[in-house]
């Protein structure tokens, strides 16, 4: 069982999804979660889908394998869930750290795009180090070159992207989201610096 299942004797429906790049700094990740909690008034009791804790990850023969869990399409189910879609505050947090670019992961750009298309409010939250670290220009996003750990996942996600307007449309959607997030992050960061 996942950590989330072990901590909740009665299953709960997530009201928030966290999208992250896996290779990020744990300290920066926690900074982002604390920041999101304050910015969006997220209660400590809010049920959250965070794949690291919500899915059983070891692939050690106990329970479902990661592939079997992915075959159940948990990300789409969470994004499409009533509580996430109905959230007028925020339904997904996209975590940005200086150590791993969230847009370099095919799963992340697909999750963000899928949520935006469902009308879910997606907010990017950035660590302070991310806010002051130079990035690839938002105009240079090429989701086709985003990495994916598993070739089967890459083929599955690519097919979904192609069915839904292709990479040109996805690049435009992610570029718009990233540009808006970067502008907001910059304003938030420099507002704090100059207080």
Copy the structure tokens of residue 155: 């083929």
pTM of the model: 0.84
pLDDT per residue as tens digits for the range 115-127: 988 889 999 898 9
Region 154-178 average pLDDT: 91
Q: What is the pLDDT of residue 20?
A: 92
CA dist., res. 108 & res. 143, Å (int): 10
DSSP-based three-state secondary structure for 32:
helix
């Amino acid at each position: 069982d996942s950590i989330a299942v072990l901590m909740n004797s009665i299953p709960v429906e997530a009201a928030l999804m966290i999208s992250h790049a896996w290779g990020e700094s744990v300290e920066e990740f926690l900074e982002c979660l604390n920041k999101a909690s304050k910015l969006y008034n997220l209660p400590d009791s809010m049920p959250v889908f965070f794949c690291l804790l919500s899915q059983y990850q070891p692939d050690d023969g106990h329970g479902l394998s990661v592939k079997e869990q992915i075959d159940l399409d948990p990300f789409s189910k969470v994004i499409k869930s009533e509580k996430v879609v109905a959230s007028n505050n925020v339904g997904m947090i996209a975590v940005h750290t200086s150590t791993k670019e969230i847009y370099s992961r095919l799963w992340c750009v697909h999750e963000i795009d899928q949520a935006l298309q469902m009308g879910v409010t997606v907010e990017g939250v950035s660590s302070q180090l991310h806010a002051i670290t130079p990035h690839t220009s938002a105009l240079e996003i090429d989701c086709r070159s985003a990495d994916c750990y598993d070739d089967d996942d890459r083929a599955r996600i690519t097919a979904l992207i192609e069915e839904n307007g292709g990479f040109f449309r996805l690049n435009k959607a992610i570029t718009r989201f990233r540009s808006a997030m970067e502008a907001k992050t910059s304003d938030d960061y420099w507002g704090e610096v100059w207080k």
